[in-house]
Structure 1
Protein backbone atom coordinates (compact mmCIF):
# COMPACT_ATOMS: atom_id res chain seq x y z
CA UNK A 1 0.00 0.00 0.00
CA UNK A 2 1.93 2.99 -1.29
CA UNK A 3 1.17 6.47 0.00
CA UNK A 4 1.67 9.17 -2.62
CA UNK A 5 -0.50 11.79 -0.95
CA UNK A 6 1.23 14.48 0.99
CA UNK A 7 0.26 17.05 3.58
CA UNK A 8 3.31 19.12 2.76
CA UNK A 9 2.04 22.57 1.96
CA UNK A 10 -1.45 21.55 3.02
CA UNK A 11 -4.01 24.30 3.31
CA UNK A 12 -6.64 24.35 6.01
CA UNK A 13 -9.97 24.99 4.28
CA UNK A 14 -12.21 25.02 7.34
CA UNK A 15 -12.18 23.80 10.91
CA UNK A 16 -13.12 20.31 9.74
CA UNK A 17 -11.43 20.07 6.33
CA UNK A 18 -7.94 20.17 4.87
CA UNK A 19 -6.72 20.37 1.29
CA UNK A 20 -4.27 17.57 0.41
CA UNK A 21 -2.08 17.45 -2.70
CA UNK A 22 -1.08 14.40 -4.75
CA UNK A 23 2.73 14.50 -4.90
CA UNK A 24 2.77 12.92 -8.38
CA UNK A 25 -0.01 14.77 -10.21
CA UNK A 26 -0.33 17.99 -8.20
CA UNK A 27 -4.11 17.44 -8.01
CA UNK A 28 -5.73 18.56 -4.77
CA UNK A 29 -8.75 17.33 -2.83
CA UNK A 30 -10.49 18.62 0.29
CA UNK A 31 -10.79 15.93 2.95
CA UNK A 32 -12.58 15.85 6.30
CA UNK A 33 -10.69 15.06 9.49
CA UNK A 34 -12.42 11.65 9.57
CA UNK A 35 -11.08 10.77 6.11
CA UNK A 36 -7.57 11.88 7.06
CA UNK A 37 -7.72 9.97 10.34
CA UNK A 38 -8.69 6.70 8.65
CA UNK A 39 -6.19 7.23 5.83
CA UNK A 40 -3.19 7.93 8.04
CA UNK A 41 -4.32 5.50 10.77
CA UNK A 42 -6.28 2.73 9.01
CA UNK A 43 -8.17 0.33 11.27
CA UNK A 44 -8.35 -3.45 10.81
CA UNK A 45 -5.83 -3.47 7.97
CA UNK A 46 -4.04 -6.74 7.13
CA UNK A 47 -0.49 -6.58 5.83
CA UNK A 48 0.19 -8.22 2.48
CA UNK A 49 1.69 -11.35 4.02
CA UNK A 50 -1.13 -11.79 6.55
CA UNK A 51 -4.11 -12.31 4.27
CA UNK A 52 -3.56 -15.95 3.40
CA UNK A 53 -3.01 -16.88 7.05
CA UNK A 54 -6.04 -15.05 8.45
CA UNK A 55 -8.68 -17.59 9.65
CA UNK A 56 -11.67 -15.96 7.99
CA UNK A 57 -15.20 -17.34 7.85
CA UNK A 58 -15.80 -15.48 4.59
CA UNK A 59 -13.66 -13.68 1.99
CA UNK A 60 -14.55 -11.16 -0.71
CA UNK A 61 -12.49 -9.79 -3.60
CA UNK A 62 -13.32 -7.11 -6.18
CA UNK A 63 -11.34 -5.10 -8.70
CA UNK A 64 -7.93 -5.70 -10.21
CA UNK A 65 -4.42 -4.55 -9.23
CA UNK A 66 -3.77 -4.00 -12.93
CA UNK A 67 -6.28 -1.13 -13.09
CA UNK A 68 -5.18 0.33 -9.76
CA UNK A 69 -8.27 -0.45 -7.66
CA UNK A 70 -8.45 -3.74 -5.76
CA UNK A 71 -10.16 -4.68 -2.54
CA UNK A 72 -10.08 -7.78 -0.33
CA UNK A 73 -12.27 -8.21 2.74
CA UNK A 74 -12.16 -10.97 5.38
CA UNK A 75 -14.85 -11.47 8.03
CA UNK A 76 -15.26 -13.56 11.17
CA UNK A 77 -18.85 -14.33 12.14
CA UNK A 78 -20.43 -15.50 15.39
CA UNK A 79 -22.54 -18.44 14.14
CA UNK A 80 -25.05 -18.13 16.99
CA UNK A 81 -25.85 -14.44 16.60
CA UNK A 82 -24.73 -13.99 12.98
CA UNK A 83 -22.90 -10.85 14.02
CA UNK A 84 -19.60 -9.84 12.43
CA UNK A 85 -16.89 -10.18 15.08
CA UNK A 86 -14.00 -8.98 12.91
CA UNK A 87 -13.64 -7.34 9.51
CA UNK A 88 -10.17 -7.16 7.98
CA UNK A 89 -9.17 -5.78 4.61
CA UNK A 90 -6.48 -4.92 2.05
CA UNK A 91 -6.59 -2.47 -0.84
CA UNK A 92 -4.35 -1.12 -3.57
CA UNK A 93 -6.66 1.86 -4.06
CA UNK A 94 -6.16 5.56 -3.34
CA UNK A 95 -6.33 7.38 -0.01
CA UNK A 96 -10.10 7.74 -0.23
CA UNK A 97 -10.49 3.99 -0.83
CA UNK A 98 -8.29 3.28 2.18
CA UNK A 99 -10.29 5.62 4.42
CA UNK A 100 -13.65 4.35 3.14
CA UNK A 101 -12.77 0.70 3.73
CA UNK A 102 -11.22 1.43 7.11
CA UNK A 103 -14.35 3.16 8.38
CA UNK A 104 -16.56 0.45 6.87
CA UNK A 105 -14.62 -2.21 8.80
CA UNK A 106 -15.28 -0.25 11.99
CA UNK A 107 -18.98 0.20 11.19
CA UNK A 108 -19.65 -3.53 10.78
CA UNK A 109 -17.63 -4.73 13.80
CA UNK A 110 -18.23 -2.06 16.48
CA UNK A 111 -20.79 -2.41 19.31
CA UNK A 112 -20.82 -6.24 19.19
CA UNK A 113 -20.96 -6.17 15.40
CA UNK A 114 -23.63 -5.81 12.75
CA UNK A 115 -25.75 -8.79 11.84
CA UNK A 116 -25.10 -10.21 8.38
CA UNK A 117 -28.46 -8.82 7.23
CA UNK A 118 -27.54 -5.34 8.46
CA UNK A 119 -24.09 -5.50 6.85
CA UNK A 120 -25.62 -6.60 3.54
CA UNK A 121 -27.52 -3.31 3.56
CA UNK A 122 -24.44 -1.06 3.76
CA UNK A 123 -24.15 1.22 0.75
CA UNK A 124 -21.59 3.85 -0.34
CA UNK A 125 -23.71 6.72 0.99
CA UNK A 126 -23.62 5.23 4.51
CA UNK A 127 -19.83 5.09 4.37
CA UNK A 128 -19.63 8.65 3.02
CA UNK A 129 -21.88 9.93 5.80
CA UNK A 130 -19.68 8.34 8.46
CA UNK A 131 -16.63 9.99 6.88
CA UNK A 132 -18.32 13.39 6.72
CA UNK A 133 -18.26 13.28 2.92
CA UNK A 134 -15.75 12.65 0.14
CA UNK A 135 -14.61 14.86 -2.75
CA UNK A 136 -16.95 14.40 -5.73
CA UNK A 137 -14.27 12.78 -7.87
CA UNK A 138 -13.51 10.32 -5.08
CA UNK A 139 -17.02 9.08 -4.26
CA UNK A 140 -16.51 5.99 -6.43
CA UNK A 141 -13.75 4.95 -4.02
CA UNK A 142 -16.37 4.06 -1.40
CA UNK A 143 -17.98 1.50 -3.72
CA UNK A 144 -15.34 -1.24 -3.67
CA UNK A 145 -15.49 -1.86 0.07
CA UNK A 146 -19.22 -2.55 0.34
CA UNK A 147 -19.10 -4.77 -2.74
CA UNK A 148 -16.25 -6.84 -1.28
CA UNK A 149 -18.10 -7.03 2.04
CA UNK A 150 -21.21 -8.46 0.37
CA UNK A 151 -19.03 -10.98 -1.46
CA UNK A 152 -17.46 -12.01 1.87
CA UNK A 153 -20.91 -12.50 3.41
CA UNK A 154 -22.00 -14.58 0.40
CA UNK A 155 -18.80 -16.61 0.80
CA UNK A 156 -19.73 -17.23 4.45
CA UNK A 157 -23.18 -18.45 3.36
CA UNK A 158 -21.51 -20.78 0.86
CA UNK A 159 -19.02 -22.09 3.42
CA UNK A 160 -21.82 -22.82 5.90
CA UNK A 161 -24.09 -24.50 3.32
CA UNK A 162 -26.65 -21.68 3.39
CA UNK A 163 -26.80 -21.45 -0.38
CA UNK A 164 -30.37 -20.15 -0.48
CA UNK A 165 -29.22 -17.00 1.36
CA UNK A 166 -26.60 -16.05 -1.22
CA UNK A 167 -27.57 -12.74 -2.83
CA UNK A 168 -26.75 -12.43 -6.52
CA UNK A 169 -26.37 -8.84 -7.70
CA UNK A 170 -27.60 -8.75 -11.26
CA UNK A 171 -27.13 -6.07 -13.90
CA UNK A 172 -29.49 -4.96 -16.65
CA UNK A 173 -28.08 -4.46 -20.13
CA UNK A 174 -28.99 -0.95 -21.31
CA UNK A 175 -27.01 -0.65 -24.56
CA UNK A 176 -27.61 -4.00 -26.27
CA UNK A 177 -24.99 -3.34 -28.96
CA UNK A 178 -22.07 -2.48 -26.68
CA UNK A 179 -23.45 -4.54 -23.75
CA UNK A 180 -23.30 -1.61 -21.31
CA UNK A 181 -25.26 -2.18 -18.11
CA UNK A 182 -26.96 -0.02 -15.50
CA UNK A 183 -24.01 -0.83 -13.23
CA UNK A 184 -21.64 0.76 -15.75
CA UNK A 185 -23.75 3.92 -15.74
CA UNK A 186 -23.88 3.92 -11.93
CA UNK A 187 -20.08 3.65 -11.79
CA UNK A 188 -19.76 6.56 -14.23
CA UNK A 189 -21.98 8.76 -12.03
CA UNK A 190 -19.95 7.79 -8.96
CA UNK A 191 -16.82 8.86 -10.85
CA UNK A 192 -18.29 12.33 -11.40
CA UNK A 193 -20.25 12.07 -14.65
CA UNK A 194 -23.24 14.37 -14.13
CA UNK A 195 -24.39 14.88 -17.72
CA UNK A 196 -25.30 12.53 -20.55
CA UNK A 197 -22.23 13.67 -22.48
CA UNK A 198 -19.93 12.81 -19.57
CA UNK A 199 -21.57 9.41 -19.10
CA UNK A 200 -21.12 8.69 -22.80
CA UNK A 201 -17.50 9.80 -22.69
CA UNK A 202 -16.81 7.29 -19.92
CA UNK A 203 -18.94 4.39 -21.17
CA UNK A 204 -19.76 5.01 -24.89
CA UNK A 205 -23.36 4.12 -24.01
CA UNK A 206 -25.82 5.03 -26.76
CA UNK A 207 -23.20 5.24 -29.49
CA UNK A 208 -24.00 1.68 -30.50
CA UNK A 209 -27.70 1.74 -29.62
CA UNK A 210 -29.16 5.28 -29.72
CA UNK A 211 -32.63 3.99 -28.78
CA UNK A 212 -31.40 3.46 -25.20
CA UNK A 213 -30.65 7.16 -24.59
CA UNK A 214 -33.96 7.95 -22.81
CA UNK A 215 -33.33 5.11 -20.35
CA UNK A 216 -29.75 6.30 -19.85
CA UNK A 217 -31.00 9.80 -19.01
CA UNK A 218 -33.49 8.34 -16.55
CA UNK A 219 -30.75 6.31 -14.85
CA UNK A 220 -28.48 9.37 -14.78
CA UNK A 221 -31.15 11.34 -12.91
CA UNK A 222 -31.80 8.43 -10.55
CA UNK A 223 -28.15 7.82 -9.61
CA UNK A 224 -27.38 11.54 -9.35
CA UNK A 225 -30.24 11.99 -6.89
CA UNK A 226 -29.29 8.80 -5.02
CA UNK A 227 -25.66 9.75 -4.42
CA UNK A 228 -25.66 13.54 -4.49
CA UNK A 229 -29.15 14.42 -3.29
Structure 2
Protein backbone atom coordinates (compact mmCIF):
# COMPACT_ATOMS: atom_id res chain seq x y z
CA UNK A 1 0.00 0.00 0.00
CA UNK A 2 2.78 2.36 0.93
CA UNK A 3 4.51 1.70 -2.38
CA UNK A 4 1.29 2.56 -4.26
CA UNK A 5 0.95 5.86 -2.39
CA UNK A 6 4.56 6.79 -3.11
CA UNK A 7 4.13 5.90 -6.79
CA UNK A 8 0.98 8.04 -7.00
CA UNK A 9 2.74 11.00 -5.36
CA UNK A 10 5.70 10.63 -7.71
CA UNK A 11 3.40 10.60 -10.73
CA UNK A 12 1.55 13.67 -9.47
CA UNK A 13 4.79 15.54 -8.80
CA UNK A 14 6.12 14.60 -12.23
CA UNK A 15 2.96 15.85 -13.91
CA UNK A 16 3.28 19.12 -12.02
CA UNK A 17 6.85 19.59 -13.26
CA UNK A 18 5.82 18.92 -16.84
CA UNK A 19 2.82 21.26 -16.78
CA UNK A 20 4.39 24.03 -14.69
CA UNK A 21 4.69 27.23 -16.74
CA UNK A 22 8.18 28.27 -17.82
CA UNK A 23 9.70 31.25 -16.08
CA UNK A 24 9.66 34.27 -18.37
CA UNK A 25 13.07 35.33 -19.65
CA UNK A 26 14.29 38.52 -18.05
CA UNK A 27 16.19 41.36 -19.70
CA UNK A 28 19.74 41.88 -18.52
CA UNK A 29 21.49 45.23 -18.91
CA UNK A 30 25.26 45.76 -18.89
CA UNK A 31 26.83 49.21 -18.55
CA UNK A 32 30.33 50.53 -19.00
CA UNK A 33 32.62 53.16 -20.46
CA UNK A 34 35.37 52.67 -23.01
CA UNK A 35 36.70 49.34 -24.24
CA UNK A 36 35.59 46.20 -22.42
CA UNK A 37 34.84 42.49 -22.70
CA UNK A 38 31.45 41.68 -21.18
CA UNK A 39 30.75 38.13 -20.00
CA UNK A 40 27.19 36.84 -20.39
CA UNK A 41 25.53 33.47 -19.74
CA UNK A 42 26.39 31.25 -22.71
CA UNK A 43 23.62 31.03 -25.30
CA UNK A 44 23.11 29.42 -28.70
CA UNK A 45 19.67 31.00 -29.25
CA UNK A 46 18.85 33.90 -31.58
CA UNK A 47 18.87 36.92 -29.27
CA UNK A 48 18.37 40.68 -29.54
CA UNK A 49 20.41 43.44 -27.97
CA UNK A 50 19.48 47.08 -27.44
CA UNK A 51 22.61 49.23 -27.61
CA UNK A 52 23.38 52.83 -26.69
CA UNK A 53 26.60 54.87 -26.81
CA UNK A 54 27.48 58.43 -25.90
CA UNK A 55 30.78 59.42 -27.43
CA UNK A 56 32.59 60.97 -30.38
CA UNK A 57 34.66 58.12 -31.84
CA UNK A 58 34.03 54.61 -33.10
CA UNK A 59 31.54 52.39 -31.27
CA UNK A 60 31.74 48.72 -32.25
CA UNK A 61 30.36 45.60 -30.55
CA UNK A 62 31.15 42.00 -31.55
CA UNK A 63 29.79 38.77 -30.13
CA UNK A 64 32.43 36.27 -28.99
CA UNK A 65 32.12 32.50 -28.78
CA UNK A 66 33.34 30.41 -25.84
CA UNK A 67 36.70 30.16 -27.67
CA UNK A 68 36.94 33.94 -28.17
CA UNK A 69 36.07 33.89 -31.88
CA UNK A 70 34.29 36.97 -33.24
CA UNK A 71 30.97 36.11 -34.92
CA UNK A 72 28.31 38.86 -35.24
CA UNK A 73 29.19 42.54 -35.64
CA UNK A 74 26.24 44.16 -33.84
CA UNK A 75 27.17 47.80 -34.42
CA UNK A 76 30.00 49.78 -36.01
CA UNK A 77 29.22 53.50 -35.92
CA UNK A 78 30.84 56.83 -35.11
CA UNK A 79 29.59 58.96 -32.21
CA UNK A 80 26.30 58.66 -30.36
CA UNK A 81 24.26 55.57 -31.13
CA UNK A 82 20.94 53.96 -30.22
CA UNK A 83 19.61 50.83 -31.91
CA UNK A 84 18.60 47.19 -31.75
CA UNK A 85 20.38 44.26 -33.39
CA UNK A 86 20.23 40.46 -33.33
CA UNK A 87 22.82 37.70 -33.11
CA UNK A 88 22.84 33.95 -33.75
CA UNK A 89 20.46 34.47 -36.68
CA UNK A 90 22.76 32.79 -39.22
CA UNK A 91 23.82 29.86 -37.05
CA UNK A 92 23.80 28.60 -33.49
CA UNK A 93 27.14 29.69 -32.08
CA UNK A 94 27.98 29.38 -28.40
CA UNK A 95 28.03 33.09 -27.54
CA UNK A 96 29.73 33.89 -24.22
CA UNK A 97 30.84 37.54 -24.39
CA UNK A 98 30.62 40.91 -26.08
CA UNK A 99 33.74 42.73 -27.23
CA UNK A 100 33.13 46.49 -26.91
CA UNK A 101 35.18 49.27 -28.51
CA UNK A 102 34.02 52.71 -27.37
CA UNK A 103 35.28 56.11 -26.23
CA UNK A 104 32.23 56.93 -24.11
CA UNK A 105 29.53 55.45 -21.90
CA UNK A 106 27.50 52.55 -23.30
CA UNK A 107 24.71 50.11 -22.41
CA UNK A 108 23.89 46.65 -23.75
CA UNK A 109 20.48 45.19 -22.92
CA UNK A 110 20.09 41.49 -23.77
CA UNK A 111 16.58 40.20 -24.53
CA UNK A 112 15.00 37.06 -26.02
CA UNK A 113 14.02 37.37 -29.69
CA UNK A 114 10.35 37.16 -28.68
CA UNK A 115 10.72 40.63 -27.11
CA UNK A 116 11.45 42.26 -30.47
CA UNK A 117 9.33 45.27 -31.41
CA UNK A 118 5.86 44.31 -32.68
CA UNK A 119 5.60 44.66 -36.45
CA UNK A 120 2.30 46.31 -37.30
CA UNK A 121 1.07 46.64 -40.90
CA UNK A 122 2.76 50.02 -41.16
CA UNK A 123 6.08 50.37 -39.34
CA UNK A 124 8.45 53.30 -39.18
CA UNK A 125 11.68 53.97 -37.39
CA UNK A 126 15.17 55.43 -37.48
CA UNK A 127 18.37 53.42 -37.39
CA UNK A 128 18.79 49.73 -36.57
CA UNK A 129 15.78 47.69 -35.41
CA UNK A 130 14.46 44.14 -35.00
CA UNK A 131 10.74 43.51 -35.56
CA UNK A 132 8.34 40.64 -34.86
CA UNK A 133 5.13 39.42 -36.48
CA UNK A 134 2.50 37.70 -34.33
CA UNK A 135 2.83 34.59 -36.52
CA UNK A 136 4.79 33.53 -39.62
CA UNK A 137 3.58 35.17 -42.85
CA UNK A 138 1.54 33.13 -45.33
CA UNK A 139 0.92 33.40 -49.05
CA UNK A 140 2.11 36.18 -51.32
CA UNK A 141 2.69 39.45 -49.49
CA UNK A 142 4.64 42.51 -50.53
CA UNK A 143 6.46 45.22 -48.66
CA UNK A 144 6.60 48.87 -49.66
CA UNK A 145 9.86 50.24 -48.28
CA UNK A 146 11.41 53.70 -48.04
CA UNK A 147 14.70 54.84 -46.52
CA UNK A 148 16.23 58.28 -46.21
CA UNK A 149 19.91 58.08 -45.31
CA UNK A 150 23.49 58.06 -46.57
CA UNK A 151 24.94 54.67 -45.57
CA UNK A 152 24.00 51.01 -46.00
CA UNK A 153 20.33 50.09 -45.75
CA UNK A 154 19.62 46.36 -45.38
CA UNK A 155 16.63 44.25 -44.35
CA UNK A 156 16.74 40.53 -43.60
CA UNK A 157 13.67 38.30 -43.21
CA UNK A 158 13.99 35.68 -40.45
CA UNK A 159 11.98 32.50 -40.04
CA UNK A 160 10.08 31.29 -36.97
CA UNK A 161 13.31 30.02 -35.38
CA UNK A 162 14.98 33.39 -35.85
CA UNK A 163 17.27 32.21 -38.66
CA UNK A 164 18.04 34.11 -41.88
CA UNK A 165 15.41 33.43 -44.55
CA UNK A 166 16.13 36.02 -47.26
CA UNK A 167 17.92 39.33 -47.84
CA UNK A 168 15.15 41.72 -48.91
CA UNK A 169 17.06 44.98 -49.42
CA UNK A 170 20.75 45.87 -49.50
CA UNK A 171 21.37 49.37 -50.84
CA UNK A 172 23.38 52.52 -50.09
CA UNK A 173 21.65 55.81 -49.31
CA UNK A 174 18.05 56.69 -50.13
CA UNK A 175 15.80 53.83 -51.20
CA UNK A 176 12.24 53.36 -52.43
CA UNK A 177 10.77 50.12 -53.72
CA UNK A 178 8.55 47.07 -53.32
CA UNK A 179 9.77 43.56 -52.51
CA UNK A 180 8.18 40.19 -51.75
CA UNK A 181 7.80 39.19 -48.12
CA UNK A 182 8.80 35.50 -48.09
CA UNK A 183 6.22 33.07 -46.74
CA UNK A 184 7.26 31.91 -43.30
CA UNK A 185 8.73 35.25 -42.22
CA UNK A 186 8.35 35.84 -38.48
CA UNK A 187 11.02 38.46 -37.76
CA UNK A 188 12.95 41.11 -39.66
CA UNK A 189 16.17 42.95 -38.94
CA UNK A 190 16.70 46.49 -40.25
CA UNK A 191 20.15 48.07 -40.61
CA UNK A 192 19.93 51.77 -41.40
CA UNK A 193 21.50 55.13 -40.66
CA UNK A 194 18.38 57.16 -41.43
CA UNK A 195 14.61 57.09 -41.19
CA UNK A 196 12.58 54.31 -42.82
CA UNK A 197 9.03 53.06 -43.34
CA UNK A 198 7.82 49.54 -44.13
CA UNK A 199 4.21 48.80 -45.14
CA UNK A 200 2.87 45.25 -45.50
CA UNK A 201 0.24 44.55 -48.12
TM-score greater than 0.5 by the shorter chain: no
Q: Which has the higher contact order (CA 8 A, sep 6+)?
A: 2
TM bracket (short chain): under 0.3
The structure that has the greater radius of gyration is: 2
Q: Which structure carries more strand by proportion?
A: 2
Using the size of structure 1 for normalisation, the TM-score is 0.24
Q: Which structure carries more helix by proportion?
A: 1
